[in-house]
Amino acid sequence: MTDLDAVYLDHNATTPLDPRVLQAMMPYLAGGAGNASSLHRLGQRARQAVDVARQQVAALIGASPDEVFFVSGGTEADNWALRAGVAAAAGARDLGGPAQLVTTTVEHSAVLQTAERLRAQGVTVTLVEVDAAGRVDPEAFAAALTPKTALVSVMLANNDVGTIQPVAAIAALARQAGVWIHSDAVQAVGKIAVDVRTLEVDLLALSAHKLGGPQGAGALFVRRGLRLPPLLEGGGQERGRRGGTENVAAIVGFGRAAELARSEWAEGARRTAELRERLELGLLARIPRLTINGREAPRLPNTLSVSCAGVDGLDLVLNLDLAGVAASTGAACSSGRVAPSHVLRAMGRDAATAREALRLSLGASNSEGEIDRTIEVMAEAVARLRAPATSA
């Protein structure tokens, strides 16, 4: 079996590069692309391409082009938002003491680890708990706010279980308190409607490779009027907010992917939701003692997190891989670790149940035949992995 024959169900880790995106990138990969800061024709051609991509990304999230700043990916966007956001928001309000950052227990590691670094630097960090479905209560967020709160950060959709958070409601409460709000929307953009005006966020992170674009390109939305200092100093790129020569080819690909997502996300969401339902019902019918994680809350249409009692999630991933099905135990940056999913632990699962988690994330390339094949392969793998315990 070749990689081309594999059933790819790990789209939350990264999506395959859309051929139409690659086509848009090729002129900037095959030579002739100048530095977007150069004044000659090749440089200005690159600058124009970056400007077009900025317009395309802005249109996808309902922003103005001057509010979109290109970075290397979602991790950099989250780091910039938290590190600079806490300092800028605290300075704007003259808190007169250690600032507070409020976030949740189920955030991506790019947020949680940055929060811990800020804590070590004297920032007060408050983590708001979630319910058993992974959903945070806006009122719990409101209760965590203090006069020292500078920034709140809540992801729009969870990368492990797909739970969609009530960001707009949290933003409204934060705004009443004069607090800036950041949202990690990396998993949401391209899968559900994302509009920064409707959400009323100040900062929002997104990444190209989660919506059919290339790896190595992302963006941070910064609401017009916010004085956000740069994370990286350099040659004045991105209007002095993010130093470093622009990755023109990747940015062009990001723009084209955003353009495609804007016109196709609704149909894609409908189709992947149908496939996920087929997969979910098929697994429930074939595998005893299977739990759907986060089923009680609104979820991304493509994401299915399951726990098979008595089966280690990593063992199941390896068995599925041998059978030609690519899945994961959770976030790609942590799926190789022995530690159980921090998201499921935050949702109240014990360590053993959290270790049994498997994430199946669908995309445009999947078919009904692949879903049916996955159900069959996974049912066989679970039965095989449970057999020693049963016979013992």
Non-local (6+) Cβ contacts of 65 within 8 A are 51, 54, 55, 58
Among 333, 339, 351, 387, which one carries the catalytic annotation?
333
Question: 206 φ, ψ to 5°?
Answer: -145, 165
**DSSP E strand stretches across 243-301:** 290-293
Q: Would you call 392 exposed, middle or buried from its count of C-beta atoms within 10 A (0-12, 13-18, 19+)?
A: exposed
Q: Reduced to 3 states, what is the DSSP secondary structure of residue 80?
A: helix
Distance CA 106, CA 127 (A): 9
Q: Is residue 308 annotated as a catalytic residue, yes or no?
A: no
Distance CA 173, CA 59 (A): 26
Could you tell me the sign of the dihedral formed by the alpha carbons of 24, 29, 32, 36, in that order? positive
Radius of gyration of the chain (CA): 21
Q: Reduced to 3 states, what is the DSSP secondary structure of residue 64?
A: coil
Non-local (6+) Cβ contacts of 10 within 8 A are 326, 327, 328, 332, 359, 361
Distance CA 288, CA 254 (A): 42
AA identity, residue 200: E
> Do 253 and 80 form a contact (C-beta atoms < 8 A)?
no
Q: Would you call 320 exposed, middle or buried from its count of C-beta atoms within 10 A (0-12, 13-18, 19+)?
A: buried
From residue 360, how far is each of 7, 29, 292, 302 by CA, in Å?
11, 33, 11, 8
Helix (H) or strand (E) holding 253: helix 248-286
Distance CA 100, CA 165 (A): 21
Catalytic residue IDs: 333
